Chains A and B, each alone.
Chain A
Amino acid sequence: MPIYKSDTNGSRGFPGAFIAVGVFVLSVITLFLPDASQDEVASLLRGSLLRPFVLAQEGLVRRSIHAEDTEVLQRRLDSLEVVIANSNTLAEENTTLRSLLLLSNRIPAQYVAASVMRPGTPGSESMFMLDVGTERGVTDDSPVIMGQGLLGRVLEAQATSATAMDWTHPQFRASAMTVDGTVYGMVRAAPGRFREADRLLLNGVPFHQELGPGVTLVTSGLGGLYPRGIRIGVVIEESGSQEGWQRSYWLRPFVSPGEATHVNVLVGEEGEFRDANSWSEGGPQVQGPGAAPQELAPGTSDTEATTPR
Chain B
Amino acid sequence: MRTPARIWSVVGFLILLHFGLHLSLGLGESAPDLLVVALLIAAREVNIGRGAGLGFFLGLLDDAFSVLAFGANAFALTLVGMGGARTRDLFVGDSLLFLGSYLMLGKWMRDFLHWVAVGSDLRESFVETMLIQSPVSAAYAGLIGLIVIAISGLGWETIR
B153 in contact (CB, < 8 A): no
Instruction: With A31-B117, A124-B65 as known contacts, state yes or no: A119 contacts B88, CB within 8 Å.
Output: no
Interface residues of A in 35-68 (CB under 8 A from B): 38, 41-42, 45-46, 49-50, 53-54, 56-57, 60
Kindly identify which residue among A7, A50, A117 contacts B64, using a CB–CB cutoff of 8 Å: A50
A155 in contact (CB, < 8 A): yes
Contact indicator A123/B73 (Cβ below 8 Å): yes
Contact indicator A16/B47 (Cβ below 8 Å): yes
Kindly identify which residue among B28, B65, B78, B124 contacts A27, using a CB–CB cutoff of 8 Å: B78
A159 in contact (CB, < 8 A): no
Q: State the interface size on chain A (CB cutoff 8 A).
A: 58
Kindly identify which residue among A45, A126, A191 contacts B61, using a CB–CB cutoff of 8 Å: A45
B12 in contact (CB, < 8 A): no
Interface residues of B in 13-56 (CB under 8 A from A): 19-29, 31, 44-53, 55-56
Report the bound CA distance from A1 to B3 in whole Å. Answer: 9
Could you give, for residues 4-47 of chain A, a 1 whenever the CB lies within 8 Å of some chain B CB and a 0 otherwise?
A: 10111111110111111001101110111100001001100110
Instruction: With A4-B1, A23-B52, A28-B75 as known contacts, state yes or no: A121 contacts B22, CB within 8 Å.
Output: yes
Shortest C-beta distance, A115 to chain B (Å), equals 12
Contact indicator B47/A121 (Cβ below 8 Å): no
B60 in contact (CB, < 8 A): yes
A290 in contact (CB, < 8 A): no
Q: How large is the interface on B (under 10, 10 to 19, 20 to 34, 35 or more residues)?
A: 35 or more
Q: Which residues of B contact A26 (CB under 8 A)?
A: 56, 78
Instruction: With A33-B71, A42-B66, A126-B68 as known contacts, state yes or no: A50 contacts B47, CB within 8 Å.
Output: no
Report the bound CA distance from A165 to B31 in whole Å. Answer: 23
B125 in contact (CB, < 8 A): yes
Q: Which residues of B contact A18 (CB under 8 A)?
A: 49
Report the bound CA distance from A272 to B92 in whole Å. Answer: 66
Contact indicator A57/B68 (Cβ below 8 Å): no
Shortest C-beta distance, B84 to chain A (Å), equals 9
Contact indicator B75/A27 (Cβ below 8 Å): yes
A208 in contact (CB, < 8 A): no
Q: Which residues of B contact A165 (CB under 8 A)?
A: 67
Contact indicator A124/B67 (Cβ below 8 Å): yes
A3 in contact (CB, < 8 A): yes
Q: Which residues of A contact B89 (CB under 8 A)?
A: 10-12
Q: Considering residues B2, B23, B27, B63, which has the most beta carbons from chain A within 10 angstroms of its beta carbon?
A: B23
Contact indicator B2/A170 (Cβ below 8 Å): no
Q: Which residues of B contact A33 (CB under 8 A)?
A: 70-71
Residue of A nearest to B128 (CB): A193
Kindly identify which residue among B65, B124, B128 contacts A119, using a CB–CB cutoff of 8 Å: B65
B7 in contact (CB, < 8 A): yes
Q: Which residues of B contact A4 (CB under 8 A)?
A: 1-4, 6-7
Q: Which residues of B contact A45 (CB under 8 A)?
A: 60-61, 63-64
Shortest C-beta distance, B63 to chain A (Å), equals 7
Report the bound CA distance from A121 to B70 in whole Å. Answer: 12
Q: Which residues of B contact A170 (CB under 8 A)?
A: 68, 121-122
Shortest C-beta distance, B114 to chain A (Å), equals 6
B138 in contact (CB, < 8 A): no
Residue of B nearest to A17 (CB): B48
29 chain-A/chain-B pairs, Cβ below 8 angstroms: A10-B47, A16-B49, A17-B49, A23-B52, A23-B55, A24-B78, A27-B56, A27-B71, A27-B75, A30-B74, A30-B75, A31-B117, A41-B60, A45-B63, A46-B64, A50-B61, A53-B23, A54-B24, A57-B24, A119-B23, A120-B22, A120-B23, A120-B28, A120-B31, A122-B72, A122-B73, A123-B62, A123-B114, A193-B124
Residues of B within 8 A of A (CB): 1-4, 6-7, 19-29, 31, 44-53, 55-56, 59-75, 78-79, 82, 85-86, 88-89, 114, 117-118, 121-122, 124-125, 128
Task: Give me 7 other A-B pairs in contact (C-beta within 8 A), A26-B56, A118-B28, A123-B62 excluded.
Answer: A6-B46, A19-B52, A31-B117, A45-B64, A53-B23, A124-B67, A165-B67
